Amino acid sequence: MENRAAADAALAAIAQRALDFVADQAIVGLGTGRAALAFVHALGARVREGLRVQGISTSEATATAARQLGIPLIGLEDTEAIDVTVDGADEVDPQLNLIKGYGGALVREKIVAAASRTEIILVGREKLVPVLGSRGVLPVEVITFALAFCKRRLVELGCRPELRLQAGSAFVSDGGNNILDCRIAPLDAPAALEAAVTAIPGVIGTGLFLGIADRVLVGDAGAVQELRRA
């Protein structure tokens, strides 16, 4: 319980720091997961104080939370660019490359990140890893029709794909797709793996976010460390 309270305090601290990157009348990408939700709550409080923003959500769960907190939402069709996106990550390496997707929103998160001028990532210190793949899982989103085919091709690449389940049934993303959680070893060449996996017909995207994060805010024991991509 004490560890959970400390983790929640760390998330609250980095969420507050992330507000420093949100200007009045900004278009803000809203990520998915615990860290992103902490930011959405912090942003909602600031909106109630008079900050004018519009949000673009990476998941239906985040959209629901944003609406409940009074954050107005728009779609990608309503703007040419997103000013700043604030999201979480499951792994961050020393070059600020990421693995994301444990929350199941990796494809929408990658689309929103690509449309953003600045990508801010919020994590606890436990998410910092020396090499991507250190936690042993890489999510890959695939269309249902190609599920068996994609599994075979992923095995050929040395991955060990397992269908993600939710309440005993196949997990279905907001895009209507399935996720294969690939058991992997630490990656010597993540860019090569990304290219090989995304070349498989039926793969929608992977949880590898390479060269995307601009800053990573790390919460640890009440302090906030800011890492910047070179």
Q: Which amino acid is at 185?
A: A
Q: What's the length of the chain?
A: 230
Determine if residue 32 is left, alpha or beta; phi over 0 gives left, psi from -120 to 50 gives alpha, anything else beta.
beta
Q: Catalytic amino acids?
A: 109
